[in-house]
Amino acid sequence: MPDPELYRHRLGLEAPWTVANVELKVKEQRVDVWAEHSDSLWPCAECGKTLPLYDHAPERSWRHLDSCQFMTYLHARIPRVDCPEHGVRQIRVPWAEPKSRFTILFERLAIDVLKEADVLGAARVLRISWDEAWHIIERAVARGQARKQKRSVRRIGVDEKSAAKGHDYLTIVCDLDEATVEYIGDDRKQDSLDPYFHQLTPEQRDAVEAVAMDMWEPYVRSVNAHLRGAAEKIVFDKFHIIRHLVEAVDRVRRREHRAQAATGDSPLSGTKYLWLYSEENLPEKHRDRFESLRAADLKTARAWALKEVLRALWGYGSRGWAARFFARWYFWATHSRLKPMIEVARMIKRHLANVLTYFTQRVTNAVSEGLNSKIQTIKKRAYGFRNREHFKLAIYFHCGGLDLPGDPCQTRMKRSSWHAGSSPHGRSSE
């Protein structure tokens, strides 16, 4: 038999647990290790009360870190105690979480691999199933959320994200200072956002100083219903406003292109992406072509210029100057005879008070834009979420700022004395 002491060490087993038996199966590339214990007194998993051994649950096994390429499994029968308060219960074992089929060390490695690779790739590397990989993610997120500190978030960003093709949305709330996703709701209605506020304490709600978001009435209603002084806190941010303008420019381009194409060659053929750039981000190789398009007498070029000019709004030092600048821009936009631009200009004007709150709050959704592209990558990589709950889990896993490998069970065990081996019965109740 391979050296039990070596495997005891590899598995990190401490008194009262020892290794009873090790079986090496070379052909199957597998090692099986059986753990046993000497003590007969155990703490109840619920209340910590020290109780005599009642019996054992049937044998279970846990996948552990491979030994070389050998898949390694730990087997044990978990002791049960008969607690006067909680009845017959399994005790907590120090190497795994309740209901997990993996040891804590294996889960830790799996989490690291899952952070770096897509689920399918990670499952292949770890030699676990797709479902097992998702279970690990699910438990890691639940654990991370349970131990997340109840801190206050000062500045939040609210954004919608399409979850699939068509009109299937998620509402995402992020902490703009920490760049973490704090909450995900289904759809983009008022009651998509309400639950975020419901889970905050009154103090946490009062701590919210600014909410950056799109001009979207259901979100406005939700913030108004839950935050005091919402009128000063809501900021319709630059990124969303520019996005509306970019879309309007594209609508102008499509109409103009159709009209031009009907009478011959359209100079707008193949130019869709050129108009999406802001001036300074236009790649050098497109610059000549773009300049000649701008010089031509095109509605699309005028629409694009309107969009570019409004970006200066956020460069002003004060609300008053910004308001005067907007008034001039608004006059220009509404006299442009470009219907999509006029519509957006009017929408901005209707919401202007909470566009200009920027000058007291100085908040933009740049952070959630960054998170958005991270979420986009998660979505692309995950051909195979199979459902939106998986998509949400993956967002929390990668963007939640959660302490994922942290294991409350392990921490509790370490604090109790029995893990240290001095006495198996000193665990205080928590």
Asked if 83 interacts with Zn ion (CB under 5 A), we say: yes
Given CA atoms 60, 64, 67, 69 in this order, what sign does their dihedral have? Answer: positive
Give the count of residues interacting with Zn ion (CB under 5 A). Answer: 6
Span interacting with Zn ion, options 62-70, 84-92, 153-161, 400-408, rule CB under 5 A:
84-92
Instruction: Kindly tell me which residue out of 11, 31, 33, 44 binds Zn ion, with binding defined by CB under 5 A.
Output: 44
Query: 178-217: which residues touch Zn ion (CB under 5 A)?
Result: none
Between residues 81 and 338, which has the closer beta carbon with respect to Zn ion?
81
Element housing 386 (H / E): none
Q: How far is CA 15 from CA 7, 98, 242, in A?
A: 14, 20, 63
State how far the Cα of 298 lies from the Cα of 261, in Å rounded to an integer: 13
Q: Kindly tell me which residue out of 1, 69, 85, 202 binds Zn ion, with binding defined by CB under 5 A.
A: 85
Given the complex with Zn ion, which of 92 and 139 has the nearer CB atom? 92
Measured from the CB atom, is 48 or 185 closer to Zn ion? 48
| First and final C-alpha spacing in the chain | 41
Rounded distance between C-alpha atoms, residue 90 and residue 44, angstroms: 8
Q: Which stretch binds Zn ion (CB under 5 A): 79-87, 109-117, 228-236, 370-378?
A: 79-87
Minimum gap (Å) between residue 50 Cβ and Zn ion: 10
Nearer to Zn ion by Cβ, of 44 and 333: the residue is: 44
Q: From residue 272, give the alpha-carbon distance in Å to each of 135, 224, 247, 298, 304.
A: 43, 38, 11, 14, 12
Instruction: Please state the closest distance from residue 84 (CB atom) to Zn ion, in A.
Output: 8
Closest approach, Cβ 133 to Zn ion, in A, equals: 34
Closest to Zn ion by CB, 47 or 347? 47
Q: Which among 374, 378, 364 is positioned nearest to 314, based on CA atoms? A: 364
Closer residue to Zn ion, CB minimum distance, 50 or 152? 50
Strands, sheet with 180-186, edge to edge from the N-terminal-most edge strand: 180-186, 169-175, 155-162, 210-213, 234-236
Q: Interface with Zn ion by CB under 5 A: which residues?
A: 44, 46-47, 83, 85-86
